[in-house]
Amino acid sequence: MIIVMKHNATQADVEQVKNEVTKAGLMVNISEGSQVTIIGVVGDKTRLSSDSICALPAVDKIVPVTESYKLANKKFHTKPSVIDLGSCKIGGDQLVIMAGPCAVESKKQLFESAEAVKAGGATVLRGGAYKPRTSPYSFQGLEEEGLQYMLDAKKETGLSIVCEVTSIHAVNTAANYVDILQIGARNMQNFELLKAAGKTNLPVLLKRGLCATIEEWLNAAEYIMSEGNQNVILCERGIRTYETATRNTLDISAIPVIKSKSHLPIIVDPSHASGKKEYIASLSKAAIAAGADGLMIEVHPNPKEALSDGPQSLDPQEFKVLMEELKMIAAACNKTFS
């Protein structure tokens, strides 16, 4: 439920309501607007007397929330969330570009990638140290060695870094190195992993599952947020349909739907959506035009030699050209690159 305070409610009035809610064992999420303050209530509402809350003089009304996700709900947090990484911001009027290789293969390869994506305009370096692959015989990643290379690249370039984690052990290890923890599509409903990521103080990039509905996706975000971590970034990376022309089918409509239902920022991964680099530019432009808060693009110094996802990786020159083209789309949408 949402408790809407009267326009003249004082801070003491808000504290009174907060105390009543927490005394019943429920959590609160306070959102202060220019005209009114709303208090989101999370937990078993049967433990709280609605009549006693409505009887408080500074309470205007109580609005029920039918959706199962609460903290991720726009009704609870009316303003769009903006996540500050220090080097850049994700959300609001800013566009973030996360770019780099699918997998960290060597220190040389990662440093070349980092320099290339920074020169092109990216502010976040992506790279996989833990690689969940369809085949157990495919390259699985360098793990902590790869994380160290990413940290070294951050120190060298100033880029923030994001890396996928595939286990609770990986969360605990990666938290010592990266700026953003990524939960991949295959693990979107790995609830223990989501809770572990939620217990960190790091922003979490949550990719949409292969066949997940938007409601399931937002409920996955709720698992992270319910552990006290409100810094969640959603990532649409295509869903599995009957179509085989692309690796997945990019759901452009997910962008405005998320914007209508949630305050969380959403970015798009056109590389995994298409599986083919010749489609990345068009999908990137469409994503920004539809209102995405950024992009995650695979860039490799030499895609033909990549140990993972070479066919969907841009080379440095292709990335640079794309970034120049995206500036025009961004300007038309009153957005700037962070």
Q: What's the pLDDT tens digit per position in 22-34?
A: 999 998 888 887 7
276 shares a domain with 176:
yes
Residues 47 and 191 in one domain: no
Q: What is the mean pLDDT of residues 132-160?
A: 85
Domain limit, last residue, from 29, 63, 97:
63
Burial 257-276 (b: 16+ CB within 10 A, else e): ebbebbbbbbbbbbbbbbbe
Residues 97 and 214 grouped into a single domain: yes
Question: Each residue of 58-83: pLDDT tens digit?
Answer: 999 998 888 999 999 998 888 999 99
Going by C-alpha positions, the residue among 153, 141, 68, 144 that lies closest to residue 114 is 153
pLDDT for res 299? 98
The answer to whether residues 14 and 136 belong to one domain is no
Same-domain pairing of 321 and 196: yes
Residue 238 lies in a domain: yes
Interior/surface letters 87-124, b for 16+ CB within 10 angstroms, e for the rest: bbbbbeebbbbbbbbbbbbebebbbbbbbbbbebbbbb
Q: Write the pLDDT tens digit of every residue in 240-270.
A: 999 999 999 999 999 999 999 999 999 999 9
Same domain membership, residue 26 and residue 99: no
**What pLDDT score was predicted for residue 50?**
86
Full domain range(s) for residue 122:
83-337
Q: Flag whether 128 is in a domain.
A: yes
Task: Please give the pLDDT value at position 137.
Answer: 59
Phi/psi for 336 (5° steps) reads: -130, 150
Bridge partner residues of 105 (DSSP): none
* Percentage of residues in the chain having pLDDT higher than 90: 83
- Residue of higher predicted confidence among 32 and 189: 189
Final residue before a domain boundary, out of 35, 63, 91: 63
> What is the C-alpha separation between 336 and 332, in angstroms, rounded?
10
Q: Is the pLDDT of residue 136 over 80?
A: no
Instruction: Please give, one letter per residue, the 3-state secondary structure of 103-120.
Output: CCCCHHHHHHHHHHHHHH
Q: Are residue 89 and residue 45 in the same domain, yes or no?
A: no
List pLDDT tens digits, range 204-239: 999 999 999 999 999 999 999 999 999 999 999 999
For residue 249, give the CATH number of its domain.
3.20.20.70
140: pLDDT strictly greater than 70: no
Residue 139 is predicted with a pLDDT of 61
Question: For residue 132, is pLDDT > 70?
Answer: no
The 10 Å Cβ neighbour count of residue 231 is 23
Q: What is the pTM of this model?
A: 0.91
Between CA 179 and CA 125 the distance in angstroms is: 10
Does 50 share its domain with 115? Answer: no
User: Is residue 268 a contact partner of residue 255, using CB atoms and an 8 Å limit?
Assistant: yes
Please name the amino acid found at residue 125. Answer: L
DSSP 269-288: -HHHHHSSGGGHHHHHHHHH
Last-in-domain residue among 63, 95, 111? 63
Q: Domain count for the chain, please give it.
A: 2
Say which residue, 131 or 163, is predicted with more confidence: 163
Task: Write the burial class of residue 19 (CB in 10 Å: 0-12 exposed, 13-18 middle, 19+ buried).
Answer: exposed
Strand partners, 61: 4
> pLDDT category, 35, cuts 50, 70, 90?
confident
Q: What is the dihedral of CA 111, 116, 119, 121, to 10 degrees?
A: -110
For residue 217, the number of C-alpha atoms closer than 13 Å in the C-beta half-sphere is 28
Tell me, yes or no, whether 280 and 145 share the same domain: yes
Residues 17 and 129 in one domain: no
Q: What is the pLDDT of residues 298-308, one digit of tens each?
A: 999 999 999 88
Whether 12 is in a domain gets the answer yes
